[in-house]
Amino acid sequence: MTTPDIFRDEVFPEDVEAIRALVRSTGFFTEAECVMAGDLAAERLEKGLDASGYHFLFLGPAGAFQAYSCFGPVCCAQGSFDFYWLAVQGGLRGKGVGTRMLAATEAAMKALGCRKVWIETSTQPLYTPTRAFYLARGYRLEATLEDFYAPGDGKAVFSKVL
């Protein structure tokens, strides 16, 4: 018998650096992006949910979680949510944790009134598995913006109706 996943949506101070460390450990992001990922949690702690607009889900205890996601409503867009981050500890990648995390995040967004999810990611070859992950889970590639992040690094925009 397997233990059910236990998700939490409360952010604790120790999560800020743990988010940065987890995102850094993936090898996908620049140092500035890793810092920014933690900054979103710090902003949530400082301003609260309503003022920050950042929702989180964590799989695991404060500061020692296995995976996390960050998402929030798009300002002035009825029922649209941005899915900002999804990260899974290295040893757990490819074992279904990301899929379970995505499903739990989609359920949380839907409960908050989301009708359509938007995800943005890089077009660099490093992100080929990321793009395939979202396509395999029902997301649709809506647009590709060349040279968005940097020369040779475009943005792929995906969406999914919940």
pLDDT at residue 3 in the model: 57
pLDDT at position 151 is 95
Average pLDDT over residues 130-158: 97
Question: What is the average pLDDT score of the chain?
Answer: 94
Residue 42: C-alpha distances to residues 10, 68, 143 (Å): 12, 15, 31
| Banded model confidence at residue 134, pLDDT cuts 50, 70, 90 | very high
pLDDT single digits (tens) 11-47: 999 999 999 999 999 988 999 999 999 999 999 999 9
C-beta of residue 71 within 8 angstroms of C-beta of residue 109: yes
Residue 4: pLDDT over 70: no
Residue 75 phi, psi dihedral angles, 5° rounding:
-60, 130
- Determine the average pLDDT of the residues in 82-91: 93
Quick check: 28 and 127 in contact, CB under 8 A?
yes
Q: Which domains, ranges and CATH numbers included, belong to the chain?
A: 7-114 (3.40.630.30), 120-162 (no CATH)
Longest CA pairwise span in the chain (Å): 50
Say if residue 72's pLDDT is above 90. yes
Residue percentage of the chain with pLDDT more than 70:
98
pLDDT at 160 over 80: yes
Report how far residue 71's alpha carbon sits from residue 111's, in angstroms, rounded to the nearest whole number: 13
Q: What is the pLDDT of residues 90-107, one digit of tens each?
A: 888 889 999 999 999 999
Q: What is the predicted pLDDT for the residue at 1? A: 47
